[in-house]
Amino acid sequence: MIADFPLVSAAYEARRAQREASKLPKIWTLLDQVCDPEIPVLSLWDLGVITDIEKSGGRLTVTITPTYSGCPAMQTMHDDIEAVLRQAGIDAFEVRASLAPAWSSDWISPEGRAKLTAYGIAAPKSCDSCQGLALDSDIHCPHCGSADTRMTSEFGSTACKALFQCRSCQEPFDYFKPI
């Protein structure tokens, strides 16, 4: 049993409301197939990287925002969105990167959190009051659900993850850091 309660943050609620109010639901659905190149179970929607889709004068603008300043996957995400739009026969578009508001791990969808856990990555804790200064504790192992875990490295294979080990099942795992 995985002890990860679905967390619906206010930040995610705001994102969902924006998507539901959008006049371009088909484009949102179309782009649901574009996934994070480094965590391929997460769509860019799940992650919160696609922040807006607008159409003006027949031209589509897709706005994306980086997770971390130096996220090396941004260009790939950009290219993948372009490829999907072109494949759907859309040629008049622009993929625009925007920095504000700064991305937060709270933007990840509840489905995205469940997918992360199933993939073996512990989902981030709520970032409402995170200052990056408290030691992360009470992180549940995505394999056996135990909370008896310890951090082995502040950074993992990518900037957005830390390395943990479970003391119950001994498995190492990634923890998606709250930011």
Residue numbers at the binding site for other proteins (CB under 8 A): 66, 68-72, 99-104, 131-133, 152-159, 163, 177, 179
Q: What is residue 90's DSSP assignment? A: -
Q: What 3-state class would DSSP assign to 117?
A: helix
Nearer to other proteins, 87 or 152 (CB): 152
Distances (CA, A) of 126 to 47, 50, 95, 110: 14, 20, 29, 12
Nearer to other proteins, 12 or 103 (CB): 103
In sequence order, what are the residues at sequence separation of 6 or more whose Cβ sits closer than 8 angstroms to the Cβ of residue 150? 164, 165, 167
- Closest CB 154 distance from other proteins, rounded Å: 6
Region of 138 (left: φ > 0; alpha: ψ -120 to 50; beta: rest) is: left
- Closest CB 34 distance from other proteins, rounded Å: 21
- Closest CB 9 distance from other proteins, rounded Å: 16
Type of residue numbered 35: C
Nearer to other proteins, 104 or 115 (CB): 104
- Closest CB 103 distance from other proteins, rounded Å: 8
Nearer to other proteins, 56 or 131 (CB): 131
